[in-house]
Amino acid sequence: MSAEKTILVVGTFDTKDDELGFLSDVIRDQGGSVVTMDVSVLGDPSEPTDFSKHDVSEAGGSSIQAAIDSGDENHAMQIMAKGASLLAARLYNEGKFDGVIVLGGTMGTDLALDVTASLPLGVPKYIVSTVSFSPLIPAERLAADTQMILWAGGLYGLNSVCKASLSQAAGAVLGAARAVQKPDPDKPLIGMMSLGTSALKYVIPLKPALEARGFEVAVFHATGMGGRAFESLAGQGAFACVFDFCTQELGNHVNGSNISAGADRLSNAGATGTPQIVAPGCYDLVDVVGWQPISKAWDKHMKHEHNRLLTSIVLEAEETKLVARAHSKQLEKANGPVAMILPELGLGEWDREGADLHNPDGLSAFLSELEATLPSKVNVHRIPHHINDAEFAEKALEIFDTWCADGTVNV
């Protein structure tokens, strides 16, 4: 594409015409081009947009009249969200824009999440919203590289406060479009889950070993949002193979923690047939928000205060069985090869013998329940080592090399 970058500006131009116009003007003032898309239903913009509300609704197989006749603002906006997502994806594939920015309150944000999710990794995606970072936004709806900006003072009309937010957002999306280095589609990518190396250390030997074999390695932080990004990309078939060695977010989810990657954790690689090497790292830890009061249900459990943001609860033996069954349920859905490595001496550094969170009863109960419930399609490798021992990484590479040699993994 040329040096001049084009930004798709999306919003309800009937109610936020001034704000969207200001945003577009700042992008143009900075040397960018703008394509506008109106997703309003009832009203009309002061000036025609490049893509009208009629274009949007028809792109989704409906019409503005159908949205109006529904008599329900939620249903109407879902018509527009479907159309905007399909139209944005088509326009991007045609090379019509380089980045997208969507403006809105709760209605606009709901639509924005669909639009940004319809675009591939590496397309700058900015959502300027009055509810950015809010718990209203479910993790599973966030595209892997979505950027959010809080729209301060932006509920109704322009003012100096909201102009400060909008002007920064305009600069951010245009700058991102100019600076982005998109993933190399010709280099096979490994997706790996982990925590920091104080808890899980296998990334230290595995990343250079895989890179030496010609693969790129992306390591995702298993604290809810990292797992969400991992699952989003896995669902797109972005990985040649996954090394899913920290499934702790699945335990968070089944135990009701809001530090969750969603109900589909440990399922999207399998849904696309991507080869999976799995190990249930930190299976017995349930993370909770450290600065909020901790439920009395956890009073008698061992705890690890990782920092002021995050506290980990250690599950007791019977409780680990629920997590084991959740692993088996997710892997039952897999359409591709699955290897499960089960280290008998522990699945997190804090669980080593002599460490603060050593949990031998929990480990024994978990491994037994997992082996009893795993589907037959899963090839189990039980090893007499700890997940942070060199032998664990060696076993993972042994499985991987076999898969590369027999064509299971596309090299």
Q: Looking up tokens 């977010």, which residue turns up?
A: 249
pLDDT attached to residue 139: 78
Distance CA 217, CA 399 (A): 17
Cβ pair 251, 285 in contact under 8 A: yes
Class of domain 6-179: alpha beta
**Which CA distances in Å does 214 have to 37, 86, 181, 209, 390?**
42, 35, 19, 9, 21
Specify the pairing of strand 125-129 against strand 33-38: unpaired
pLDDT attached to residue 5: 97
pLDDT attached to residue 53: 97
Cβ pair 247, 327 in contact under 8 A: yes
> Per the structure block, which two tokens stand in for 68?
């109006």
Q: Looking up tokens 């329940």, which residue turns up?
A: 369
> Per the structure block, which two tokens stand in for 155?
């509920």
- The phi, psi pair for 313, rounded to 5°, reads -100, 135
H helix or E strand, kind and range, residue 37: strand 33-38
- The residues spanned by each domain of the chain are 6-179, 189-406
Nearest in space to 351 (alpha carbons), one of 341, 342, 362, 340? 362
- Homologous superfamily (CATH) for 189-406: Uncharacterised protein family UPF0261, NC domain (3.40.50.12030)
Nearest in space to 298 (alpha carbons), one of 328, 319, 323, 269? 319
Distance CA 287, CA 122 (A): 30
Scored b (16 or more CB within 10 A) or e, 53-74 reads bebbbebbebebeebeebeeee
pLDDT attached to residue 3: 64
Cβ pair 185, 42 in contact under 8 A: no
Distance CA 13, CA 24 (A): 12
pLDDT attached to residue 371: 95
- Start-end of H helices in 223-382: 225-235, 248-254, 268-271, 317-331, 360-373
Distance CA 192, CA 205 (A): 13
pLDDT digit string (tens) for the chain, length 411 residues: 446 999 999 999 999 999 999 999 999 999 999 999 999 999 999 999 999 999 999 999 999 999 999 989 999 999 999 999 999 999 999 999 999 999 999 999 999 999 999 999 999 999 999 999 888 888 788 888 999 999 988 778 899 999 999 999 999 999 999 999 998 888 999 999 999 898 999 999 999 999 999 999 999 999 898 999 999 999 999 999 999 999 999 999 999 998 889 899 999 999 999 999 999 999 999 999 889 999 999 999 999 888 898 999 999 999 999 999 999 999 999 999 999 999 999 999 999 999 999 999 999 999 999 999 999 999 999 999 999 999 999 999 999 999 999 999 988
Q: Which residues pair with 6 in a beta bridge?
A: 33
pLDDT attached to residue 1: 42
Distance CA 185, CA 276 (A): 20
**Matching CATH topology for 6-179 and 189-406?**
yes
